[in-house]
Structure 1
Amino acid sequence: MYRPEKTFYLADLIGTTVTDASGATVGRVVDFTFLVGGKFPKINQAVVQAAGRAEKHVVPRERFQTFGTDGYVLAAPLREMPRLLDCPEQFLARSIWDKQIIDTSDIRVVRVNDLEIAEVRGDWYLIAIDVGVQGLLRRLGFDRWICPLFERLRWPVRHEVIAWDLVQSFPTGFSPLKLAVPSNKVKDMHPADLADILEDLSVQEGISLIQTLDDETAAETLAEADAETQAQIISSLPPHEASDILEEMEPDEAVDILQDLDDRKAAEILSHMEPSEASDVRELLKHDENTAGGLMSTGYATIYEEFTVADAFKHLRLVAVDLEIIYYLYVIDHNNRLKGVVSIRDLLVADPTTPISGIMDKDLVFVSPETPQEEVASLISKYNLMGLPVLNSEGVMLGVVTIDDVMELLLENMPRMWKRRALSS
C-alpha cells in the first residue's frame, strides 16, 4: 500500500450529516461497508439513515459529490439508493466493534474499540484496529476532553492500535463476516500460545478456534490448556470431532480430559474413537486419577534383554516416531515383565556389540497402579528419575509416569509465587 494521505477513525465519522446538492440535510452516516479479499479491506459504500426516518440506504462512493472528512454531499436523491435491508450480504464496519479477535503479534485476545481508516489515492481502507482505552473514549465521545486532561496530569492515555494484517478473525467471530486474513498466522503459533488464547475466549469462540486447526495441532493446543477449558471445549464439540482430537493425544492426556466429563458424554466420545485407541484409554480409565495408574502413560519404548546395543538402536528408530517422549528404554522378557532399564545416554556411549543385559540397570525403582500420586512424585524427586515404571503384582509393565506428569502435579499444588520462580528457572 502507498503512504496514506490521511488517517482517521470510524467513530469520528459516524453521525456525520449528509446533505444534497442544495445543502439540505437528508440524513446522517451510520456505517460503512467494505470489500474483503485484499490485504486491507476497501471501504466502498456509506450507510445513510434518512432524516426523521429509521430507513437506511446503501450509497456507493461514486454517488457522492463530496465524500470524506470535508463532508458528505449526495449527487443523487437518497430515495433512489438501495435500502440496507435489500442488501443483506454487506460487510459492515460497525459490526467489528466490540468483537474479540486474536492479535497474532503479541499472542493475545483483544477487543476492537475502533477502526483506523486511511485514504490512499482517493480510496479508503481499513488499516488497523484500535484496542486501547483511547479508542473506547473516542466512541463514547469523551476523548476530546478526557485525553487532554490526562495529558496535563501526566497520565497520558496510551494509543494502542494493531495493524490489520496482524489480526486473525474467528470463522464465526464476525458473523456473517469471514475476513480474508491468512489462517496460517494462527496455525503457525506454538500450541502453548494458542492455549493461552483459548483460555481467554468464550466456549463458542474457543470451539471456532479449535475447528480452524488440524486434529494434531488442536490436540497439542488442548493438552496445554487448563482442565476447565479442555472439558468445556471437548464436551461442546460434536462427538466425532472430539474423538478425532483425543485420538491424537497421548492416552493419559485423553483420560485426564474424559475424567472431567460426565460419564454419558465420555462414553459417547469413546464410542467414536478407533478401537485400538479407545482400548488404551479405557484401560487407563479403570484407575483412580490420583494414583500412578491415573498418571501413567502407555507410550514408552521397550526392548528385549537378549538385544545388543545395535539391535536396540535399530528397534528405537522403528518405534520412536509414535512416542512423544523417550527418556529410557525398558528391558522386558517375552512375558512383558520388566528386567531392567537403559538410559539413552548409556546406549550412546556403549559399544554397538555390547549385550543390553550387560549395561542395563537391574536395581529397579517402580510403583504399582494403586500407588498414591504424592508417593510417585516423591520417588521421582528422590532418585532424580525422568520416568518411573508402573508394574502389576507379577512384574508386568503397565505404563510409565514421566517427570512431566509429576511437574504438572507439583505446579498445581505450588503457591503462585513459587510456581513463577520454578517456571522461570
Structure 2
Amino acid sequence: MPPRITSRVSLTALLGTPVTDSQGHLKGKLKDIAVATGPDAGNVAGLVLKTRSGLCIVPSQEVMETPAGTLELRRPSALVPLKDDGNFIYLQQDLVDRQIIDIHGRKVVRVNDVELEWMGQGSAHLLRVTEVEVGVRGALRRIFKGMLPRTQIEKIAVRFTPKVIPWQFVDVIEVDPARRVKLRIEYERLADMHPSDLADILEDLSPAEREAVFQSLDEEVAADTLEEVDPKLQVSLLEKLDEEKIADIVEEMDPGAAADLLAELPEEQSDAILEEMEPEERQEVEELLEFDERSAAGSMTTEFVSVNENATVQDAVQALRSFDGDPESVTEIYLLGDRRLLKGAVPLARLIMAQPESRVAVLADARVLSCPADLSQNALAEMFDKYNLHALPVVNSQGRMVGVVQADHVISYLRERI
C-alpha cells in the first residue's frame, strides 16, 4: 500500500519550529533539513535541530506534527549529534538563495523556497521534497516570516501563481571543496541538452559554479558547448584545466573553431596544447592558424565531404558514412580533380534521389561557387547574402579546395558587428 500524503508544507514555514518530546519538553528548534543524494535523492535523511548542546539530527520518521503546529519526537533517543560527512544536501544552507540548474527549463534560476510533504503509512511519518519554488510566492513567505502568523502568510502567498520546478528536474551545484557532494548533476541529462542551451546556462552561472559544471562534461559535449560561448568565456572555462585535458577537448572541436580558440590563448599555452594533440588534428589546426582570422580561410572549417570527380553515387554515400565531422553541417558533397582542384558540388537532396551506380559528376551543378582564401569577411558575407548560400568552398591561389565556410560562421560575424 503506497504512503498517503497527510499534509504539505514549505521549508520556510518549518524552519524555526519548536521540537518537543511527548511530555512537551523543548528539545530544540528546526535549523535545517538534510536531503539524501544519489539513488535516494529527494528523500529527507533527517531534520537538523539546534539544541542546547549543539546541532543534532533525527530521522523524519521519528518526528510527527502536532495540532499546535509544533513537531514532536517519538523517541528522544533518536536525536543524535550531527556529524557532517558530506553525503547530504542541506535545503536551507545549500539550496535557498542559491542558483540551480533547471534541466527541464534549460536555464539557471534562484531558489526562494522548497516545498515538502509528509507521507503517512501506519505509524511511519516520512518527509519528502516535492518541488523547488523559484517565484514570488516563496520570496513573500520569507519576507513576512516572523512579521505575520503562518496562516496569514499563506493567505497572502496563495494569491500568487506558484512557479515551481519538480525536484526530479533540479540539479544542485555545490562548489565548496570541503564537501564531498561538489556537483549533483546527472551527466546524461546535461548531455541530452543542445550545446547552445548549455552555453546559456554556463554564462548565467558564477565562475566557481561554471567551472564545476564544465568540468563534469566529457570531451565531446564540452567541445560542442565551448563552440557556442563567447571567446572570453572560452578562455575562462579552460583556465583551471591542464594542457592535456584542453587538448582532448580541442581535438573534438571543429578545426576552425579550435583554431579560433587557440588564437585567443597566450602563444606559449597554445603551443603546449598543440603539442598534446594527435598529429592529424594538430596539423589541421596549425594550417588554419596560419590564415588571417579576418579572411574567408580564417572562418572556414577543414571538415567537409569530398569524392573524386569520377566517383559514383554509391562512393559518395560511403564517403558520407565515413565522415568524422558534424553530419548536420553537411549540405553538399564536393567533387575534386587532380591536385584537389574543385570541379563541382552535389546537393545532398539530389544525391539521395539518384541511383547508386550514377556518376556524381552528372548530378553536379553546372556552376560551382567558391571564394579565395584571402577574401575579406565583409565580401564573404555579401556572397552568402547575394546567393542565399548554406556553405561556400574556399580555394587557394592554385584553385585547390582547402575548406568550407558554413552559414553559421557568417551569421556569428554579422552579429559581432551589430
Q: Shorter chain as normaliser: what TM range?
A: 0.7 to 0.9
Distance 1:346 1:361 in 2: 10
Find the counterpart in structure 2 of residue 100 from structure 1: 99
Find the counterpart in structure 1 of residue 376 from structure 2: 372
Match of 1:83 among 81, 84, 95: 81
Root-mean-square deviation (Å): 3.6
**Displacement after TM superposition at 1:88 (Å):** 3.7
Q: Is the 8 A contact 2:254 2:325 kept in 1?
A: no
Distance 2:362 2:63 in 1: 89
1:206 aligns with 2:210: yes
Match of 2:165 among 162, 166, 178: 162
**Displacement after TM superposition at 1:339 (Å):** 3.2
1:313 aligns with 2:311: no
CA gap of 1:31–1:250, structure 2 versus 1, over 3 A, is same
Report SS of the residue matched to 1:289: coil
Distance 2:358 2:79 in 1: 87
1:217 aligns with 2:221: yes
1:98-247 matches, cutoff 5 A: 98-121=97-120, 122-142=125-145, 144=148, 156-170=159-173, 172=175, 175-177=179-181, 182-247=186-251
Q: Is the 8 A contact 1:114 1:135 kept in 2?
A: yes
Per-residue CA deviation, residues 128-178 of structure 1 (Å, 9 max, x unaligned), is 1111222233234358599989999x9954422211112123475894436
Report SS of the residue matched to 1:6: strand
Structure 1 stretch 282-291 or stretch 261-270: which is displaced more?
261-270
Match of 1:341 among 345, 349, 368: 345
Distance 1:408 1:147 in 2: 54
Distance 1:376 1:145 in 2: 67
Distance 1:347 1:76 in 2: 76
Distance 2:35 2:86 in 1: 11
TM-score (norm 2): 0.83
Distance 1:155 1:19 in 2: 30
Residue type of the partner of 1:137? L
Gaps of 5+ in 2: none
Per-residue CA deviation, residues 40-85 of structure 1 (Å, 9 max, x unaligned), is 533243322234x7x222344566687797323456779x95433x
Find the counterpart in structure 2 of residue 421 from structure 1: none
**Displacement after TM superposition at 1:294 (Å):** 0.7
CA gap of 1:108–1:359, structure 2 versus 1, over 3 A, is closer
Residue type of the partner of 2:81? R
Per-residue CA deviation, residues 107-144 of structure 1 (Å, 9 max, x unaligned), is 11112222211101111111111112222332343585
Residue type of the partner of 1:33? A
Find the counterpart in structure 2 of residue 70 from structure 1: 69
Gaps of 5+ in 1: 415-425
TM-score (norm 1): 0.82
Find the counterpart in structure 2 of residue 405 from structure 1: 409
Distance 1:180 1:235 in 2: 22
**Displacement after TM superposition at 1:231 (Å):** 2.6
Q: Is the 8 A contact 2:116 2:129 kept in 1?
A: yes
CA gap of 1:44–1:218, structure 2 versus 1, over 3 A, is closer
CA gap of 1:327–1:146, structure 2 versus 1, over 3 A, is same
Find the counterpart in structure 2 of residue 36 from structure 1: 37
Moved over 6 A (4+): 65-69, 75-78, 145-152, 178-181
Per-residue CA deviation, residues 272-318 of structure 1 (Å, 9 max, x unaligned), is 2212111111111112211111101111222223x143464355345
Equivalent residue pairs, number: 408
Q: Is the 8 A contact 1:39 1:181 kept in 2?
A: no
CA gap of 1:263–1:366, structure 2 versus 1, over 3 A, is same
Per-residue CA deviation, residues 8-56 of structure 1 (Å, 9 max, x unaligned), is 11121222223455544453221232333456533243322234x7x22
Structure 1 stretch 404-413 or stretch 103-112: which is displaced more?
404-413
Residue type of the partner of 2:379? E
Distance 1:192 1:71 in 2: 48
Q: Is the 8 A contact 2:34 2:91 kept in 1?
A: yes
Structure 1 stretch 185-194 or stretch 127-136: which is displaced more?
185-194
Residue type of the partner of 2:210? G
Distance 2:40 2:79 in 1: 29
Distance 2:364 2:41 in 1: 62
Find the counterpart in structure 1 of residue 17 from structure 2: 16
Q: Is the 8 A contact 1:309 1:347 kept in 2?
A: no
Distance 1:147 1:379 in 2: 67
Q: Is the 8 A contact 2:86 2:181 kept in 1?
A: no
Q: Percent identity?
A: 31
Q: Is the 8 A contact 2:113 2:138 kept in 1?
A: yes
Report SS of the residue matched to 1:279: helix
Per-residue CA deviation, residues 209-257 of structure 1 (Å, 9 max, x unaligned), is 2333332222222223333332321333332222212211110111222
CA gap of 1:15–1:264, structure 2 versus 1, over 3 A, is same
Find the counterpart in structure 2 of residue 298 from structure 1: 302
Q: Is the 8 A contact 2:43 2:128 kept in 1?
A: yes
